[in-house]
Amino acid sequence: MNRKPTTSDGPAELRRRAEVRLRGHRTKTAPIRTHADTQRLLHELQVHHIELEMQNAELKKARDELEVALEKYTDLYDFAPVGYFSLDESGTILAANLTSATLLGVERARLINRRSLLFVSATSRPDFLAFLKKVFSAPTNRVCEVLLLKEGGGAFWANFRATPAVSFKGARKWCRVAFGDITARKQAEEAQRRVEALAVTNRELKQEIVRRRAVEKALQQSKQHESQLLEQSRHTQEQQRRLAHKILLAQEEERKRISRELHDVIAQTLTGVTVHLASLKTGARGNPDDLEKNISRTQRLVEHSVQIVHQFARELRPAVLDDLGLIPALNTFLKNYRAETGILVSLAAEAAVEQFHGDKRTVLYRVAQEALTNIARHAQASSADVKIQELDHAICMTITDDGKGFQQKLLLEGKKQQRLGMLGMRERVQMVGGSFIVQSAPGKGTTVRVQIPLPEVRGGRRVSLEAP
């Protein structure tokens, strides 16, 4: 039975089979053909003709399907949303779709057999070459991002994705590479980075604003403090100016007083002594009893003059303060003070005060002298107490009276009621590194407190910090 032709048989195969059958017919002894043989042969020819028509129809259908498939493939390949390259190991373009040509601004025919590296910017070439090397060295998918240059000018960012190199075209090893334009994404990423950088900058600016506001507030407080210090300095300078002025006036008044005392007392006493001496000279020849009386009167005048001179010396600076110390000097002063004022004054002093020498001892004496003088002049007190003791490595002297007191606010504000004595005492104490406090209220008496640090102790003995 003859084999039926199929659509898989090609024209050459059909011709070969037909020629074989023809030779077979010719080699046989052809019998005398009858009408039946002719009919059978015609029937076979008709069947064979129908088979050829059917095979031709199937071939035409297969060709149409192939054309449709080719058209679809062409559409999918050439008009894909991404570009396709077929590259060999050197990066030469073996094939390219229309999208890749459109992205690069080059005709597709001019892309073939050109090196893809020509379209890569100089900054991205090292990354692209490393990408190709990895694609052909390991059977894994590779990705990279490069900046591509258009032939007509301009550039865009592209992401390359390559499949492993598993095929050959002739002697070349090649791979398929897909790439698309990611410029918008890059711009968005750059914008995001800028937004994040701006956010960081904004946070830093906010912190800087807060810091500057704090600094500005601190500066304002500093300015206010500086203004207060300046005002205090001006106030202190004004007080010092007034104090200096009052000191000059006091010195001048003291000179006038000493001058009057010398003129009214010492000069008159000495004049009296001169007169008595003259009378002694003229009366030496007279009665001896009168001579003796005149000599006695003259001696009394001289003694009175000596006492006045001693009093001046004590007021200027008592010798006992330098010779015996602070406590004996205060005892002597208080004895005379009680006798002159009638105010009862008590003294309680510790021996530690004698560790002071020079200026500090003089300051304590002058403060006590001035404070008691103020009590006698202004306080209308009947008694006063002077207490000197060692407290916290310092000598503290407290002078308290039971007088009428005064408004301390007026004293602190430096009004006219402020006395020269208070300013002078404060200045003396501050010059030796001490503190001076006055506490008073109307009807409650006055307390003057002075505290001066003791010298440092070194090697078991105190070392004076005063200037020699």
pLDDT digits (tens, 9 = 90+) for 13-47: 766 666 666 566 555 545 555 778 788 888 778 77
Task: Return the bridge partners of 172, or none.
Answer: 169
Tokens of 244: 């200096």
Question: Which pLDDT score is estimated for 417?
Answer: 41
CA distance 299 to 311: 18
Distance, in Å, from the CA atom of 98 to the CA atom of 96, rounded to the nearest integer, reads: 7
Say how far apart CA 263 and CA 414 lie, in whole Å. Answer: 37
Length of the chain as a residue count: 468
Average pLDDT over residues 57-67: 79
Own/partner contacts of 135-138, CB < 8 Å, gap of 24 or more, are 135/162, 135/164, 135/165, 135/175, 135/177, 136/89, 136/165, 136/173, 136/175, 138/164
Per-residue model confidence as pLDDT tens digits over 430-444? 888 899 999 988 888
In the predicted model, is pLDDT for residue 465 greater than 50? no
pLDDT of residue 415: 45
* Per-residue pLDDT at 467: 29
**pLDDT above 80: residue 66:** no
Q: Please state which of the ranges 12-26, 27-41, 164-178, 342-356 shows the lowest mean pLDDT.
A: 12-26
Q: How remote is the C-alpha of 93 from its chain's centroid?
A: 60
- Output the pLDDT for position 48: 77
316 band by pLDDT with thresholds 50, 70 and 90: low
Residue carrying structure tokens 């080719």: 70
More confident residue, 395 or 423: 395
Q: How many CB atoms lie within 10 A of CB 157?
A: 19
Compute the average pLDDT of residues 266-278: 69
- Which has more pLDDT, 163 or 70? 163
The pLDDT value given to residue 124: 92
103 pLDDT higher than 80: yes
What average pLDDT does the segment 365-379 reach?
89
Q: Answer whether 297's CB lies under 8 Å from 277's CB.
A: no
pLDDT for 445 beyond 80: yes
CA 442, 450, 397, 320 torsion-angle sign: negative
Looking at residue 27, its pLDDT comes to: 52
* Residue 137 pLDDT greater than 90, yes or no: no
Angle between helices 420-431 and 359-374 (to 10 degrees): 160
**Claim: this prediction has a pTM higher than 0.85:** no
Q: What was the pLDDT predicted at 266? A: 67
pLDDT: which is higher, 349 or 140: 349
Q: What is the mean pLDDT of the chain?
A: 79
